[in-house]
Each structure stands twice: as C-alpha cells, then as structure tokens.
Amino acid sequence: MRVRSGSFERGISVADDTPLTYEPLREDWDRALFIAPHPDDIEYGGAAAVARWTRQGKSVIYTMVTSGEAGIDAIPPEEAGPLREGEQRAAAEIVGVDVVEFLGFPDGTIEYGLPLRRELARAVRRHRPDIVVTGNHRETYGAGFLNQADHIAVGRAVLDGVRDAGNRWVFRDLLDDGLEPWGGVREVWMAGSPDSRHAVDTSDTFEVGMQSLHAHREYIDGLGEGGDPTDFLEEIARQAGIRLGCQYAVPFEVLSP
C-alpha cells in the first residue's frame, strides 16, 4: 500500500461526503475474486472482511497484479519479489484464502491498457466469481490526498476487465485457451474508496485481519519508524463501524458491471 499512514488515515476517515450511515454489503454469494496491485494492499483493512466471508464458507481467491518487488527500499527487487510473494501467501492463509496468484506486472509502473485488461479478463473467466473486489480507483482517498498510480490503473482495469470477461468477441485469444465468457459478476466492490456507501461488519474478524497484515513483516519493517499501521486502521474501522452500527467495519464502493 503506497500511502503514508497519516495521509491514508485522514484521507479516508474525514472525506467531506462520507455518508452518516452505511448500507450492509450483500452476502448472498459463494465466490469472490479479490484483485490488488501489490502484496499487502488487501491487508490494509480488506483482509478482515475476507476472514468474515471465509468463515461463512465462501470461497475467496487473490490475484496480485505485481509481486511488490519495488516496495522495500533496502532490498533489491530480485530479492524482494519472492520474499513478498511468500509474505502474501502467509497473510492469505491466516484469513482462510488458499489460492494466491501473481500476474507478474512490473511494480510501480503498471500501465492501464489492453495487456492489463486482457489478463484481468483472463482471471475473471478462469475463476468465474460472483463478486469481484479491488481497491480504490479514484484519484484521491478523499480530502485531497492523492492515490497511487498502480492503484488507479488496476482499479480502472478491473472494471473494464470484468466487462471484457463477459464479451465473447473481446480478447478472442482467451477462447483459444478454453476460457469461455463469464458474465456472472454481479457487483464490483472498491475497498477504501472515498465514495463508499456500503460496509461489512468486521467486529469479529478485525484482529485476524491485523494478524494477516503483520504477516508482511519485512515490508512493514522496511517502512521505518511509524510504519506499523495498526492504530490508524483500527480508527478507520471504528469510524466505519459507527456508520454501520457495529464495532468495526470495512467500507466499500459498490459498482455494477
């Protein structure tokens, strides 16, 4: 997650148009695909929601667009990439996710475009989810705090890739790979969006979500003093919980493909 902790906290928690109440997310689904740019992105709040869903018996799959190889200043990318893949798999296991895949796009320089759309459409066709979850694709986190370029590019491509996955005549080479169209995605959920109007109750799974985040030990240590995000994530979850009517919650923007 390429956001300084203070900016992330202020940007999400005090957005000017934050609703006074959130609507609960639907939970009448069986399979979700969570697509994120970097290892650790899901764990910045979203993992607590994943833990709730897997406890309900739902299947959640992680697709990481990069291996996060450019994310630790003191470790060269060729070493950081495998290390961070390992941390992500450990983090996923903690919240009940068995399948984690890495698409191999370059960390820090992801470009929105046809190659990215094709690979995300491929992932959607391969896993055939009911719900696709990703991160904030807006230019800011609210209150003028800028989002990071990889997050914006991936979020936009997820929206298009979901639609592409259902169109037989877009990326016809996927048919050659035996991947038939999948138009079964009912909604796309954007975690951390300043336009969130829905949320999921994570009162019972907040702590396991934090355990999942702390599996990214090398990454968090690499952020240096003040890098541990536990306190500000707890505050964000508490504020969202107030709006949902519970102790802790994770907010999402809900979009229809």
Tokens representing residue 116 in the block: 């990215």
Q: Amino acid identity of 180?
A: E
Q: β-strands 31-36, 198-201: how paired?
A: unpaired
Query: Domains (ranges, CATH) in the chain?
Result: 5-16+26-255 (3.40.50.10320)
pLDDT tens, residue by residue, 42-93 = 999 899 999 999 999 999 999 999 999 999 999 999 999 999 999 999 999 9
Q: Amino acid identity of 184?
A: G
Q: Which residues of 168-197 are buried (b: 16+ CB within 10 A; e: fewer)?
A: eebbeebeeeebebbeebebbbbbbbbbbb
pTM of the model: 0.91
- For residue 157, pLDDT over 90 is answered with yes
Per-residue pLDDT band at 145 (split at 50, 70, 90): confident
The mean predicted confidence, pLDDT, of the chain is: 92
3-class state of residue 237 by DSSP: helix
Residue 45 makes CB contacts below 8 A (sequence gap 6+) with 191, 192, 209, 233, 236, 237, 250
Model pLDDT, residue 229: 83
pLDDT tens, residue by residue, 204-233 = 999 999 999 999 999 998 888 666 788 989
Sign of the torsion formed by the C-alpha atoms of 237, 241, 244 and 247: positive
Helices (H), the chain: 5-13, 46-55, 77-94, 114-127, 149-165, 173-176, 206-214, 217-222, 230-244
